[in-house]
Amino acid sequence: AQTVTQSQPEMSVQEAETVTLSCTYDTSENNYYLFWYKQPPSRQMILVIRQEAYKQQNATENRFSVNFQKAAKSFSLKISDSQLGDTAMYFCAFGAQKLVFGQGTRLTINP
Amino acid sequence: EAGVAQSPRYKIIEKRQSVAFWCNPISGHATLYWYQQILGQGPKLLIQFQNNGVVDDSQLPKDRFSAERLKGVDSTLKIQPAKLEDSAVYLCASSPGTDAFFGQGTRLTVV
CB-CB neighbours of B84 under 10 Å: 10
Interface contact B42-A102, CB threshold 8 A? yes
CATH C-level class of B5-110:
mainly beta
Nearest-by-CA chain A residue for B38: A103
- Which of these ranges, A38-42, A90-94, A103-107, B57-61, has the smallest mean pLDDT? A38-42
pLDDT of residue B1: 64
Would the pLDDT of B36 be above 70?
A: yes
Q: In this structure, are residues B109 and B87 in contact, taking their beta carbons and an 8 Å threshold?
A: yes
First to last CA, chain A: 41
Task: Express each pLDDT in A44-101 by its tens digit.
Answer: 899 999 999 999 899 999 999 999 999 999 999 999 999 999 999 999 999 887 889 9
Segments making up each domain of chain B, as ranges: 5-110
* A46, A95, A103: residue with CB nearest B41: A103
Q: Which domains does chain A have, with CATH numbers?
A: 3-110 (2.60.40.10)
